[in-house]
Amino acid sequence: MSVSFPASDMPVSPLPAPPLPGTEDRWALFLDVDGTLLEFAERPDDVRVEPTLYALLAELYARLDGALALVSGRSLGGLDALFGSPPWAMAGLHGLQLRHADGEMRETKVSASRRTLVLHTAEVLARAHPGVLLENKDMAVALHCRSVPEHYDTLHTEIKRLLPELHGYELQAGSQVLELKPVGMDKGKAVAELLERAPFAGRLPVYLGDDLTDEHGFAATNLENGISVRVGAREPTLAQYSLPGTSSAQAWLFRVLNVLKQGAVPHAYPFGGNA
C-alpha cells in the first residue's frame, strides 16, 4: 500500500478531536502501543502497563465483542510479556507477525543466514555510534537513538547506503528509531488482513497511532471510511483526527467505553492475562 503525504511546506490545519461512537456504530479498535497507549522510554524493556490501562483494554475488548487489536512494532513475544498474554488480536513487528482473534498465528519467514547478516550489520552500526541501543527482534533489528538523538540523521544515511547489500530488507524509520525489517508488510496490510475476519469484518475501523509507521494504518483505515487518529503532533500525516498525547488517548478511550456501556450488555469474553 503506497502512502502519500500532503506537501510538507504547506500550512497544516489543526486536526479535530476524534468523535465518539454513535448508538448504532459497530467499531473495531486498532491501537498502536508505544507513543500511543504508553509513553516512550529510553529502553523498550523499561515500559510498564498499569493495571488501569489493562482493565480499560479488557473492558473495551468485551464491549466490542472482541474487535480490538494491538498493532505494534514490538514482537508478539514482547507484547505478551508487556500485557500478560492478553486474549485480543495482535500484530507484531509491523504486521510481520499476526495472531488473529481466534488464536491462529501467521508469521513471515526469513532465513537464519539473512537474519544473521542483518543483525551483524546493525551491530557494526551500533558500535560506531556510542549510545545507540540495539534491539534484536529476531527477524528485524531496531537501532534506538532516544538517548543520543544527534546520531539519528547520520545513522539514517549510513543504513540507506548499506540497504542494497541487505536483499529482502527495508528501512522503517520511526520516532528516534531506525529499524531493518523484511519487505512486503506494514501496519496497514495487517489492519486490512484483520478486517477480513471475525470479529472485525463488517465493522468501522478506528486506528490510533503516533509514528511514521502508523501512516500505513491510517491509509488502510481511510480506505474503509474509518476513523484515523494521530496521537501527538507529528507532521505530515494522513490522519483525520488528533489527540495531544498518550494520556489524552487513554482519556478518550475511557470516554468511548462509557458510551459503549450505555448500549447492550457485552458478550462474556474471557479476559485472561494480567497487567
What's the number of CA atoms in the CB half-sphere (13 Å) around residue 73? 30
Contact 237, 231 (CB under 8 A): no
Model's pTM, two decimal places?
0.85
Which sequence spans correspond to the domains of the chain? 27-106+185-261, 112-182
- The one catalytic residue in 32, 186, 210, 214 is 32
> How much is the pLDDT for 269?
44
Mark whether 186 is an active-site residue. no
pLDDT at residue 118, as a whole number:
94
Instruction: Kindly state the average pLDDT of the residues 188-207.
Output: 98
Q: How confident is the model at residue 40 (pLDDT cuts 50, 70, 90)?
A: confident
- Answer whether 27-106+185-261 and 112-182 agree in fold: no
- At 227 the pLDDT is 98
Cell digits of residue 2: 503506497
Identify the weakest region by mean pLDDT among 20-24, 67-71, 115-119, 121-125: 20-24
221, 187 Cβ separation under 8 angstroms: no
**Level-2 CATH architecture, domain 27-106+185-261:** 3-Layer(aba) Sandwich (3.40)
CATH number 3.30.70.1020 given to 112-182:
yes
3 state SS for 240-265 = CEEECCHHHHHHHHHHHHHHHHCCCC
Please say whether the beta carbons of 73 and 79 come within 8 A: no
Backbone phi, psi, residue 109, to 5°: -95, 130
Q: What is the pLDDT of residues 222-269, one digit of tens each?
A: 999 999 999 999 999 999 999 999 999 999 999 999 999 987 444 444
The pLDDT assigned to 138 comes to 87
Segment 109-132 shows an average pLDDT of 93
Beta strands in the chain (DSSP E): 27-31, 68-71, 89-92, 97-99, 105-107, 133-136, 141-144, 169-174, 177-182, 204-209, 227-231, 241-243
